[in-house]
């Protein structure tokens, strides 16, 4: 299998030329002695004979050796898509180096683009708006600083949170728990849970201080509890809380009637990408399905089909985040974290309830 690292050797470079490997574009250029022309590895021109080929690391060197750039692949120009992506990468590096949040206008100006085009391009390359990207960056820095043992105030400051009245609230929001809880390794985050039986089989519903944090389905209570322990390894788990049991009744009623409105607070924790996928899932009406590909397109990352499937598999809130409404492009049910039969059961149930 051809690998981009191979372009460090002439044999690897020749393989890239033979396979017109566009991943090697920019890594090197090849010149053809018989025509006097040099090309990118991916050029669609007729392949030369190996014995007539010379390799160069940059267009200048090829020109200096007396070769002319090919008109078809224009090896002396930066490929436009590469240039676009590079500008966004550059913007990300500027953001990473900046001690404080940057405004869209100033960021766009630094990579010589209009704010409008920059915003659109940034989103299409990273899947996030510049603001959301900066938010995720601050959260990551905050976690790193806290893990190093910094004080909460110092860590939040170093991570680029703006001081002010909502300083701590912003930091808590970014972490999904209070900073001091986080520093203790989330150890004092306590989670209550209830296990029971509903129309879909065994269920486990769990709640953190912020809201419902897990709804799991399965065939054995023991397996569900061990799943919960795996999901929240540092939390203190408590069973059988009477006040919580009443809220669980609402959850169970929703599991059996997914077309109803659900309005208990949720504690949804995940990466920015997962959150984006889960939001898109929640927009699919009950009884309807979308393909993984359609979701990927909807969130502006058409190539991220497998990552979308991964985010569906990482869902902790069965039915509430309706990953059962995602199917393969050909309509096949594909997988379901809680069993394909249960997925079919849910879709049938929803379709029936919608008709009423």
Q: What are phi and psi of 166, to 5 degrees?
A: -100, 20
Residue 233: other Cβ atoms inside 10 A = 10
Among 32, 70, 137, 311, binds Zn ion (CB under 5 A): 70
Sequence length of the chain is 356
Query: Of 82 and 89, which CB lies nearer to Zn ion in the complex structure?
Result: 82
Q: Kindly state whether residue 259 participates in binding Zn ion, applying the rule CB under 5 A.
A: no
Residues in contact with Zn ion, counted by CB under 5 A, come to a total of: 6
Residues 150-154: contacts with CB within 8 Å, 24+ apart?
152/179, 152/180, 152/183
Query: Of 45 and 111, which CB lies nearer to Zn ion in the complex structure?
Result: 45
Residue 283: other Cβ atoms inside 10 A = 11
Q: Kindly state whether residue 24 participates in binding Zn ion, applying the rule CB under 5 A.
A: no
308 vs 293: CA distance, rounded Å: 8
Footprint of Zn ion on residues 202-241 (CB under 5 A)? none
CB of 55 to Zn ion, least distance (A): 14
Query: Of 32 and 312, which CB lies nearer to Zn ion in the complex structure?
Result: 32
Choose the stretch contacting Zn ion; rule: CB under 5 A; options: 32-40, 108-116, 213-221, 345-353.
32-40
Q: Exposed, middle or buried: residue 214 (CB in 10 Å: 0-12, 13-18, 19+)?
A: buried
Q: Kindly state whether residue 73 participates in binding Zn ion, applying the rule CB under 5 A.
A: yes
Query: Of 12 and 41, which CB lies nearer to Zn ion in the complex structure?
Result: 41
CB 215 within 8 A of CB 251: yes
Among 35, 45, 94, 345, binds Zn ion (CB under 5 A): 45
To the query of whether residue 43 is one of the catalytic residues in this protein, the response is no
Alpha-carbon Rg for the chain in angstroms: 27
Query: Of 32 and 113, which CB lies nearer to Zn ion in the complex structure?
Result: 32
Choosing from 43, 70, 92, 323, the catalytic residue is 323
161 vs 139: CA distance, rounded Å: 9
CB of 73 to Zn ion, least distance (A): 3
Grouping H, G, I as helix, E, B as strand and the rest as coil, residue 68 is strand
CA angle 229, 268, 253 (to 5 degrees): 85
Q: Kindly state whether residue 200 participates in binding Zn ion, applying the rule CB under 5 A.
A: no
CB of 46 to Zn ion, least distance (A): 10
Tokens of 210: 């912020």
Which is it for strands 68-69 and 53-56: parallel, antiparallel or unpaired?
A: unpaired
Q: Kindly state whether residue 72 participates in binding Zn ion, applying the rule CB under 5 A.
A: yes
Choose the stretch contacting Zn ion; rule: CB under 5 A; options: 12-20, 45-53, 146-154, 251-259.
45-53
Cα 52 to Cα 37, 48, 66, 137: the distances in Å are: 11, 7, 15, 49
CB of 335 to Zn ion, least distance (A): 44
Mask of contacts with Zn ion, 271-290, x by CB under 5 A? Answer: --------------------
Choosing from 39, 73, 92, 312, the catalytic residue is 39
345 vs 338: CA distance, rounded Å: 11
CB of 45 to Zn ion, least distance (A): 5
Which is it for strands 190-198 and 53-56: parallel, antiparallel or unpaired?
A: unpaired
To the query of whether residue 312 is one of the catalytic residues in this protein, the response is no
Choose the stretch contacting Zn ion; rule: CB under 5 A; options: 17-25, 62-70, 152-160, 223-231.
62-70
CB of 4 to Zn ion, least distance (A): 20
Strand partners, 18: none
Residues that bind Zn ion (CB under 5 A): 39, 43, 45, 70, 72-73
The catalytic site residues sit at 39, 323
């Amino acid at each position: 299998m051809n690998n981009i690292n191979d372009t460090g050797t002439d044999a690897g470079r020749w393989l890239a030329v033979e396979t017109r490997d566009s991943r090697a574009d920019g890594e090197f250029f090849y010149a053809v002695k018989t025509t006097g022309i040099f090309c990118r590895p991916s050029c669609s021109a007729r392949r030369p004979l190996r014995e007539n080929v010379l390799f160069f690391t940059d267009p200048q060197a090829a020109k200096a050796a007396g070769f002319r750039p090919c008109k078809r692949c224009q090896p002396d120009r930066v490929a436009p898509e590469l240039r676009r992506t590079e500008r966004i990468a550059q913007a990300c590096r500027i953001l990473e180096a900046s001690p404080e949040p940057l405004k869209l206008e100033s960021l766009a100006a630094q990579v010589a683009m209009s704010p409008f085009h920059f915003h659109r391009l940034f989103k299409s390359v990273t899947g996030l708006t510049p603001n959301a990207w900066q938010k995720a960056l601050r959260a990551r820095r905050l976690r790193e600083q806290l893990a190093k043992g910094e004080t909460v105030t110092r860590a939040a400051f170093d991570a680029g949170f703006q001081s002010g009245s909502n300083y701590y609230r912003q930091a808590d929001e970014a972490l999904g728990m209070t900073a001091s809880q986080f520093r203790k390794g989330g150890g004092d985050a306590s989670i209550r849970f209830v296990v029971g039986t509903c129309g879909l089989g065994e269920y486990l519903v769990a709640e953190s201080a912020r809201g419902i944090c897990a709804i799991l389905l399965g065939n054995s209570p023991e397996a569900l509890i061990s799943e919960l322990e795996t999901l929240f390894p540092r939390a203190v788990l408590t069973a059988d809380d009477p006040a919580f049991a009443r809220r669980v009744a609402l959850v169970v009623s929703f599991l059996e009637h997914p077309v109803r409105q659900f309005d208990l607070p949720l504690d949804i924790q995940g990466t920015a990408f997962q959150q984006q996928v889960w939001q898109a899932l929640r927009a699919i009406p009950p009884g309807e399905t979308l393909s993984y590909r359609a979701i990927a397109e909807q969130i502006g990352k058409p190539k991220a089909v497998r990552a979308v499937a991964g985010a569906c598999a990482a869902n902790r809130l069965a039915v509430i985040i309706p990953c059962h409404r995602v199917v393969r492009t050909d309509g096949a049910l594909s997988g379901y974290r809680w069993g394909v039969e249960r997925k079919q059961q849910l879709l049938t149930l929803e379709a029936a309830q919608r008709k009423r």
